[in-house]
Structure 1
Amino acid sequence: MSPLFPALTEALADPDGTAAHRSALRFGDRSLTYGELATAAAPLAARIGEAGRIAVWATPTLETAVGVVAALLAGVPAVPLNPKSGGSELGHIVADSAPTLVLASTGDQLPPALSALERVDVDVDVRAAPATAASAAEALASGLSPEAPALVVYTSGTTGPPKGAVIPRRAVATTLDALADAWQWTGDDVLVHGLPLFHVHGLILGILGPLRRGGSVRHLGRFDVTGVTRELSAGATMLFGVPTMYHRIAETLPDDPALAKALARARLLVSGSAALPVHDHERIAEATGRRVIERYGMTETLMNTSVRADGEPRAGTVGVPLPGVELRLTEEDGKTALAAYDGETVGEIQVRGPNLFTEYLNRSDATAAAFTEDGWFRTGDMAVCDPDGYVRIVGRKATDLIKSGGYKIGAGEIENALLEHPGVREAAVTGEPDPDLGERIVAWIVPADAENPPLLAELADHVAVRLAPHKRPRVLHCLGALPRNDMGKIMKRALTHD
């Protein structure tokens, strides 16, 4: 297949050419041009070329980006490791993926679970000439099979031990090219983000995406509103974030005119990994004149849908299927496609296309169970689809589909309605058994004023007016905070009634 990073290939082949001098990566005050990235990554690619599968200690640093690029140059599958993972989880991932070595930044303290692996420190010293650059360029130019594994990314493990999704080079390339089409993403774009680098959003979209386009990325190290203002004011054109980040932005905007001005300068504001509440959409749009667009993907599929840069930025939806991606909604049997898309009928999202993973590593049973007989991947996400193809996700099949009084109800739309109430800061909705209804709707909220929280009747009426009476919550719990994971997703299984 064609090189994953044409600009880097050009820089490897011609160290004095135009491409070599273009900005590629910046983390804080440390940066690399494409020529410098080639100088740092090529010798490392030669060093690990026969290593088999490797692990990458995925801190938000220049070294992580260089290590993953080197692995892709060498054609060696990389396993990004979350530095915040516990010992048992890391032990499972290492035993399952069996890497031969681990790449890390000099000075990183690695946990005991990695002690048996050979350690290779990533050197980003670019003062020396890359003696192996020519051979690395030749290997890259010759191309690997599109089906060759690029990464093994482990799922969150919410329903058991994490599974390693084997992501081929084909999926990386096609997803990034489809997003380039949808977002009009070019080498002139400068992306700013502060996402972790151990998952597909932060690593594949946020680091490999700009490199595939020949553009650049400025990573904040960790998300910070001040950093967003600084980078967008200094010429960055795109911002990637998750809903918790955009919520913080929305909360800050009324008292921060510099942030509003910076966001107004951006060409594209993108949110993903979970649904962005409509209330935050509206607050950001009102303050900046810019609409945040959403996209939808997951580890196994990379990206499936997105609002297009030249399309209608319809708040509360994740847009339309990306080029090359087929998407359908199915009935509860998981086989029968919905007869019509009316914007109301809930079905499970199933997808197929070149963006999909190859398999779960060492889990042929789980791989087989994840696909239908005719090759569609079962996402487990529930959605409705408008007649014009816009998809609106209403929750996960396992935790967010509530069957109450004969209706199938998605928790997501109730959460959005609750967040429109001035007394609600955060909201989650679950179901619990009910002898009459089958399940009753339970609202978990963080009140805006802990001393004066809204009453259940008030919130029930608020939801019933906006949605339908059968979607109103029957039980209310007020909390100081909702349980969230590293990506800011609410962990509903941690919401208990005692």
Structure 2
Amino acid sequence: MLLASLNPAAVAAGADLGDAVRIDGVSLSRSDLVGAATSVAERVAGASRVAILARPTATTVLAVTGCLIAGVPFVPVPADVGAAERRHMLTDSRAQAWLGELPDDTDGLAHIPVRMHARSWHRYAEPAPDAPAMIIYTSGTTGLPKGVVVSRRAVAADLDMLAQAWQWTPEDTLVHGLPMYHVHGLVLGLLGSLRIGNRFVHTGKPTPQAYAHAVTDLGGTLLFGVPTVWSRIVEDGDAARALAPARLLVSGSAALPVPVFDGLSALSGHQAIERYGSTETLITLSTLVTGERRPGWVGVALPGVQTRLVSDDGAPVPHDGESIGQLHVQSPTLFDGYLNRPDATAEVLGDDGWYHTGDVAAIDSDGMHRIVGRASVDLIKSGGFRIGAGEIETVLLGHDGVREAAVIGAPDEDLGQRIVAFVVGDANPDELIEYVGQQLSAHKRPREVRLVESLPRNAMGKVLKKELAQWL
């Protein structure tokens, strides 16, 4: 059963331990979840697909849960998505109705309401494991967003892997303030809690004060955040110290800068868990509760996951911790393909079952992985050298005058690409170039450092490097 903690028989037998979900000022017990979500399932059953405006609300929780009970695939739609992208998601997915909250423009779709106080105790048969659970659309950085079809089997397998890696149990209280339309906040945060049976708290905005309150006043033990969240908590100081009673801090969706990792460790006493994955693979790599947590590295392959590095010509790349190659993944958590896009699916999913992530990485002899970044924007080929942008960014962030940094390769007639760094801070550009040169090889020094007020980021905190390239 995918949502194992919502077994109606167990709830009826007294496994209803107070509030199971706290979100947007609403508390839901496990009995509330079963009864209200089953009521949703009755209204949505028989639909082929529905769209859910995935705001962090109790309505969204019940809509998602009701779909999973009824076996109806859902499309989580960001509330702030542009009209053209939203229309594409609805048309491409052939969603039949909006379930729950409505956007300002419904695009002509019918509406199925979520009634918070309605209850049903009808028993639904568990859908087949290979049935699609959801269709999550990519960010569309290389064209229109693609619909990633994620099966129930993949979700269950991934959550069980992470429960083992993080010693995640029903005794935990999981806290985050992340969007509810991505893997991090939706699959790991909400569905993970409903499978494992722990209490789930959504903070609303992921402010340092909200995270501190969730630990000190609500008993938060397992905290999820993106690097921007952790960076702001470290800057707050008091908020970071307030996280000391928690059990585990988990960072993902982008690389955690080493200074932030070190700051969390010094202030809260916690070395953050880092993990790696994508919408297409869910989470496949992680540092472990019982293993080494190395700043700048995202850990080892989870049970059942295999990884490999290949060069541009397809040759194996050695696992020496230094050599960089394209990362391929094979896992029981892989997606079933891009909806209506067999061509795009074939480009990234080989006949041998290996998913080509589009990321470049290094793997050491112990199986620890370091993600260099996207092959398209983070692998810089300059003067015959292959250089990872992340390595330079890590060094820049170690300078006292640098708050944020992003490095890209700009076209150069002589070098092929020249290294350009965008920095938020108050350091002297020439000083930063020399600073990098003192710590890394000469060919890794930026040829240019630009001071900027802020870096463009998406909703998950990832820097939009293609937008930076346009700034040039």
Q: How would you bin the TM-score normalised by the shorter chain?
A: over 0.9
The one-character-per-residue Cα deviations of 1:241-289 (angstroms, maximum 9, x if unpaired) are: 0011011011111xx2xx2342111110000000010011111111121
Contact 2:223–2:250 (8 Å) recurs in 1: yes
In the alignment, what sits opposite 2:465? 492
Identity among equivalent pairs (%): 48
Q: In the alignment, does 2:75 pair up with 1:96? A: no
The question of 1:472 aligning with 2:452 is answered no
Instruction: Point out where structure 1 has 5 or more consecutive residues left out of the alignment.
Output: none
Q: Is the 8 A contact 1:308 1:319 kept in 2?
A: yes
Root mean square deviation of aligned Cα: 1.3
- Contact map agreement 1:295 1:318 (CA 8 A) in 2: yes
User: Which residue number in structure 2 is paired with residue 290 of structure 1?
Assistant: 270
Offset of residue 167 of structure 1: 0.1
| Partners of 1:60 and 1:222 within 8 A in 2 | no
Q: CA deviation at 1:47?
A: 1.3
Matches of 1:159 and 1:491 in 2, distance apart?
12
Answer yes or no: is the 8 Å Cα contact 1:292–1:313 preserved in 2.
yes
Q: Of 53, 62, 67, which aligns to 1:66? A: 62
Task: Say whether 1:263 aligns with 2:237.
Answer: no
Deviation string 1:110-152 (CA, Å, 9 cap, x unpaired) is 232x231111221222xx5x34x2323xx2xxx3222100000
SS of alignment partner, residue 309 of structure 2: strand
Give matches, 1:402-481, under 5 Å.
Answer: 402-447=380-425, 449=426, 453-456=427-430, 458-481=431-454
CA distance 1:497–1:193, shift in 2 (3 Å): closer
**Do structure 1's residue 304 and structure 2's residue 301 form an aligned pair?**
no
User: What is the identity, as a one-letter code, of the residue corresponding to 2:78?
Assistant: N
Is the contact between residue 22 and residue 202 of structure 2 (CA under 8 Å) also seen in structure 1? yes
Supply the distance in 2 between the matched residues of 1:84 and 1:103 (Cα, whole angstroms).
17
Which residue type is aligned with residue 134 of structure 1? Answer: H
Deviation of 1:435 (Å):
2.6
- 2:148 match: 165
Encode CA deviations 1:441-496: one digit per residue, 9 max, x unaligned. 1111111x3xxx3122x212211222222111011111111111111111111113
For residue 407 of structure 1, report the CA deviation from its aligned partner.
Answer: 1.2
User: Secondary structure of the residue that 1:264 maps to in structure 2?
Assistant: coil
**Contact 1:23–1:215 (Cα < 8 Å) also in 2:** no
| Matches of 1:419 and 1:65, distance apart in 2 | 38
Cα displacement string for residues 177-201 of structure 1 (whole angstroms, at most 9, x for unaligned residues): 0000100000101011000101111
Deviations 1:349-398 (A, max 9, x none): 11011110001000011111112232210100111111111101111000
Q: Secondary structure at the match of 2:244?
A: helix
Cα distance in 2 for residues equivalent to 1:266 and 1:48: 39
Aligned length: 470
Give the distance between the partners of 2:242 and 2:116, measured in 1 at CA: 31
Where does structure 1 differ by over 4 angstroms across 4 or more consecutive aligned residues? none
Pick one of 286, 294, 300 that aligns with 1:320.
300
Which amino acid is 2:37 matched to? Answer: A
> 109, 122, 126: which one pairs with 1:134?
122
Partner residue of 1:217?
200
Comparing 206-215 with 370-379, greater Cα deviation is found at: 370-379
- Amino acid of the residue matched to residue 80 of structure 1? P
Match of 1:8 in 2: 6
- Alignment-derived partner of residue 238 in structure 1: 222
- 2:108 is equivalent to residue 116 of structure 1: yes
Q: What is the DSSP-based 3-state SS (H/G/I as helix, E as strand, rest coil) of the residue aligned with 2:123?
A: helix
Structure 2 SS opposite 1:360: coil
One-letter identity of the residue aligned with 1:5? L
* Alpha carbons 1:13, 1:134 under 8 Å: kept: no
Mapped to 1, the partners of 2:377 and 2:183 lie a distance apart of 23
Task: Please point out which of 370, 384, 393 is paired with 2:362.
Answer: 384
Whichever residue aligns with residue 494 of structure 1, its letter is E
TM-score normalised by the chain length of structure 1: 0.92
User: Equivalents in 1 of 2:135, 2:24: separation in Å?
Assistant: 28
